[in-house]
């Protein structure tokens, strides 16, 4: 099967429907404490599996410890943010407190910034600790999908020099595919969902122990962090 055929098969309407039903099943599971983490991890697994099956034609420049892209504005789905809140809370107490504090501080510092301002300041993700992602296994889909074929282009972009980062197109298309499935699943499960800015959304989820339960009851508790609010008015 040629690469385009493999892509078309992997992202067919039937595959989309199957993934959406699977995600909706997790979002409506009897055990409320499994809904967000299982749905988010299934979303990540679907992306990782497809990305491994359909690798980019050119080698990636991404390496452990390289984190230029962790200074970009990141968005995530609601289930992913509640998964991250659980991941942070499950860390040893001192680590969890420190990381939650970093998130709260970053949310306060960036609350009034739009996307352009965030880029100008190269605001780091507060989950980036000692140069590495502290929640790597549960990092959002946006972080999984974003990669580069040219680290020098990433460096130039970070230095605010003219640069076009060559990203793997297949990964971007796969991200769009699984995102469409996630949106359909959230509609079917009747839980609010959107693209939420990661720092603000996670700060909201960590600040209120009842946030996840309120979300499951249909309240869009992450709405103040909707990614679209960062765009210039
Ligand atoms: S969640 Fe992890 S991978 Fe994503 S931007 Fe933050 S530190 Fe980087």
Q: Terminal CA-to-CA distance of the chain, rounded, Å?
A: 47
List the alpha helices (DSSP H) in the chain: 3-10, 13-27, 32-53, 78-89, 93-110, 115-121, 141-145, 151-158, 169-189, 198-207, 211-216
Q: How far apart are the CA of 71 and the centre of ligand 1, in A? A: 8
Residue 139 CB–ligand 1 contact under 6 Å = yes
Residue 233 in this model has a pLDDT that exceeds 80: no
Is the pLDDT at 127 greater than 80? The verdict is: yes
CB 206 within 8 A of CB 81: no
- Alpha carbons 95 and 128: distance in angstroms, whole number: 13
Residue spans per domain, the chain: 3-230
Structure tokens that stand for 64 in this block:
């452990």
Task: List, in sequence order, every residue forming a beta bridge with 226; answer none if it has no partner.
Answer: 196
User: Could you tell me if the CB of 70 is within 6 A of ligand 1?
Assistant: yes
**pLDDT, tens digit, for every residue of 203-225?**
999 999 999 999 999 999 999 99
Task: Specify the ligand 1 atom closest to the Cα of 143.
Answer: 4
Question: With bands split at pLDDT 50, 70 and 90, how would you rate the model's confidence at 2?
Answer: low
Quick: pLDDT tens for 74-124. Answer: 999 999 999 999 999 999 999 999 999 999 999 999 999 999 999 999 999
In eight-state DSSP terms, residue 226 is B
pLDDT at 230: 83
pLDDT at 183 over 70: yes
- What average pLDDT does the segment 55-79 reach? 95
- Model pTM above 0.75: yes
Rounded to whole angstroms, the maximal C-alpha distance in the chain is 51
Return mean pLDDT, the chain.
Answer: 96
Band (5; pLDDT cuts 50, 70, 90): confident
Report which protein residue has its CA nearest ligand 1's atom 2: 133
Contact 41, 156 (CB under 8 A): no
pLDDT band at 1; cut points 50, 70, 90: low
Question: Does the C-beta of 103 come closer than 6 Å to ligand 1?
Answer: no
**Which of 119, 140, 199, when mutated, tests ligand 1's pocket best, judged by the most ligand atoms within 8 Å of its CB?**
140
Residue 2 CA to ligand 1 center (angstroms) comes to 33
* d(CA 191, ligand 1 centre) in Å: 25
- Would you state the pLDDT for residue 36? 98
Report pLDDT for 176.
97
Please say if the pLDDT value at position 162 is more than 90: yes
Percent of the chain with pLDDT over 90: 94
């Amino acid at each position: 099967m040629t690469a385009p055929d493999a892509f078309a098969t992997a992202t067919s309407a039937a595959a989309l429907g199957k993934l959406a039903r699977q995600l909706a099943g997790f979002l409506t599971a009897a055990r409320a404490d499994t809904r967000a983490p299982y749905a988010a991890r299934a979303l990540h697994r679907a992306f990782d599996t497809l990305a491994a099956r359909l690798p980019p034609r050119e080698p990636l420049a991404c390496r452990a410890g390289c984190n230029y892209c962790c200074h970009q504005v990141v968005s995530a789905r609601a289930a992913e943010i509640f998964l991250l809140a659980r991941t942070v809370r499950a860390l040893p107490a001192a680590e969890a407190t420190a990381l939650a504090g970093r998130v709260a501080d970053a949310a306060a510092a960036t609350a009034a910034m739009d996307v352009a301002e965030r880029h100008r300041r190269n605001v780091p993700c507060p989950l980036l600790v000692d140069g590495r992602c502290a929640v790597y296994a549960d990092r959002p889909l946006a972080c999984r999908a974003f990669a580069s074929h040219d680290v020098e282009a990433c460096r130039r972009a970070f230095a605010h020099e003219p640069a076009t980062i060559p990203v793997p197109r297949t990964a971007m298309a796969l991200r769009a595919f699984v995102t469409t499935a996630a949106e359909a699943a959230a509609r079917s499960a009747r839980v609010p969902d959107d693209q939420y800015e990661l720092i603000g959304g996670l700060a909201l989820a960590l600040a209120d122990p009842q946030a996840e339960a309120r979300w499951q009851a249909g309240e869009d508790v992450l709405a103040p962090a909707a990614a679209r609010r960062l765009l210039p008015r």
